[in-house]
Each structure stands twice: as structure tokens, then as C-alpha cells.
Amino acid sequence: MMGWRALFYKEVMRFWKVSFQTVAAPVLTALLYLLIFGHVLEDRVKVYDQVSYTAFLIPGLVMMSLLQNAFANSSSSLIQSKIMGNLVFLLLTPLGHWSWFVAYVGSAMVRGLAVGLGVFAVTAWSTPMSFVSPGWILAFALMGAALLGTLGLIAGLWAEKFDQLAAFQNFIIMPMTFLSGVFYSIHSLPTFWQGVSHLNPFFYMIDGFRYGFFGVSDVSPWLSLGLVASTLAVVAGIALHLLRTGYKIRG
């Protein structure tokens, strides 16, 4: 198991050496979302009592950026290694499937959390923020980063070219992210779309994360915690099985 440290370090340095692109750019994107949506909707949308729309929006932007970048890190690393042909060098090492999983998902969590912290740092100045329950914030941030890092690992194993990876991200990750309540409360949706939102695990990650700031949420944080943890366990099991069998990485 000690070999995972070298792979983990390599994966962290891979994105950190281009941090202007992998960390600073997503932070700037989230800031633009805040400036546009916060300015336009601040006086028009009221979600929770005593919570301004801008304050409501910030945790959603933080979590959205965290999730998207955790997915991007593990998925892009694997597909690049496949296309460039250097994945064979990892296959020559005695690293087991657990080492691969811990290194790839762990580095994805680091990038996701780094981007999330960056987004919070540049957006929190715009309105007073509360921290009702920091434990919930940390729990959902870690589980969300782990879940999307694992999904990125699965997508990277499945995809054989960038077009396939882009399709996975554009037709699965992006819609689930934007339909998860980042910019609104699901109670403002028609009944049908509220039901659809309750089938989206991203909704529970963002809703539980937001609960840690304000102490209010659309559903119980314990329900969100259980559903996110269960989803993570299932997705991690699939990823470990694919790594153990060498799915699309061994001839």
C-alpha cells in the first residue's frame, strides 16, 4: 500500500503545476456566477427567512465547483494517460487496485477542496456568512469530493477518447449539477421537477452542505448524509471492481 503515496503525489503535482488553469480558472468562473446571479436576483428571490439570496447562493457555488473539479481531475488524468500511452508504465508497477483508487480519488479530492476553498475565499466577502454546523460542511465537502472523484475514475476508465469523456460530463455531470438546487430551492419548482430533483444525489450533497451554513435545508441533513454515503459506497465498489479486473486498461 505504500506505493499509493508516489502515485498520489504525482497526481497532485499534475494539476498543481498548471494551477492557474485547474484552480484559478474555476474560481473566476464561480465569481462571475455570483456577480451575475447575485446582482440580478438578490432583491427578487427569497429562499430562507433571514438569509439573503447571495448568502444562499455562495454554498451552492462552492459545492458545484468542488464537485465539477473533483470529477475533472481523475477523469482527465486517466484519459490523458490512455491517449498518450504512458498508462503502461503504471501497469508495470506492483500497485494494486486499492493503491490506484486511493491515489486517483485522493488527488481529485485535493483539487476539488482547493477549488472550493478558493471559491469561498473570493465570494464570502460579498455578504455576511454564518457557520451553524461546521461538521456538516466538512462531511458533505469530503463525501462530495470523494463521490465525484470516484465517478471521474469510472468515466476515465470507460472513455477511450476525449469525445466520450466530454459526453459523460455534458450529458450526466453538468445537468445533475445544475439541477441540484445550486441557484434555487427545489420548493420553487413544479411538483414534477421536485420529484426529479429528489432522485438526484447531487441535490442531497448541496442541500446538506448548505445546512452546515444556515441550519435550514430542503430535506433532513441526516437523510442527505445517508443517501450520499450509500451512493458513494456503491460507486466506490464499482470503481474498485473495474480497477481489479483491469477494465479497458489491460489488453
Q: Which letter, b or e, does each residue of 218-234 get, where b requires 16 or more Cβ atoms within 10 Å of its Cβ?
A: bbebeebbebbeebbee
Predicted local confidence at residue 248, as pLDDT: 87
- Cell, residue 188: 420553487
Q: Is residue 70 situated within a structural domain? A: yes
Predicted local confidence at residue 251, as pLDDT: 55
Largest Cα separation within the chain, whole Å, is: 59
Q: Is residue 36 situated within a structural domain? A: yes
Q: Look up the pTM and report it.
A: 0.93
Is-contact 149 104, C-beta < 8 A? yes
Type of residue numbered 239: A
Distance in angstroms (rounded) separating the CA atoms of residues 71 and 189: 27
Residue 161 lies in domain: 3-245
Q: Is residue 233 situated within a structural domain? A: yes
Q: Is residue 250 situated within a structural domain? A: no
Number of domains comprising the chain:
1
Encode the chain (251 residues) as per-residue pLDDT tens digits: 578 899 999 999 999 999 999 999 999 999 999 988 887 777 666 777 778 888 899 999 999 999 999 999 999 999 999 888 888 888 888 889 999 999 999 999 999 999 999 999 999 888 888 899 999 999 999 999 999 999 999 999 999 989 999 999 999 998 898 888 888 888 777 888 888 888 999 999 999 999 999 998 889 999 999 999 999 999 999 999 999 998 988 75
Q: Is residue 32 situated within a structural domain? A: yes
Q: Is residue 251 situated within a structural domain? A: no
Q: Is residue 28 situated within a structural domain? A: yes
Q: Is residue 170 situated within a structural domain? A: yes
- Nearest CA to 70 among 184, 235, 181? 235
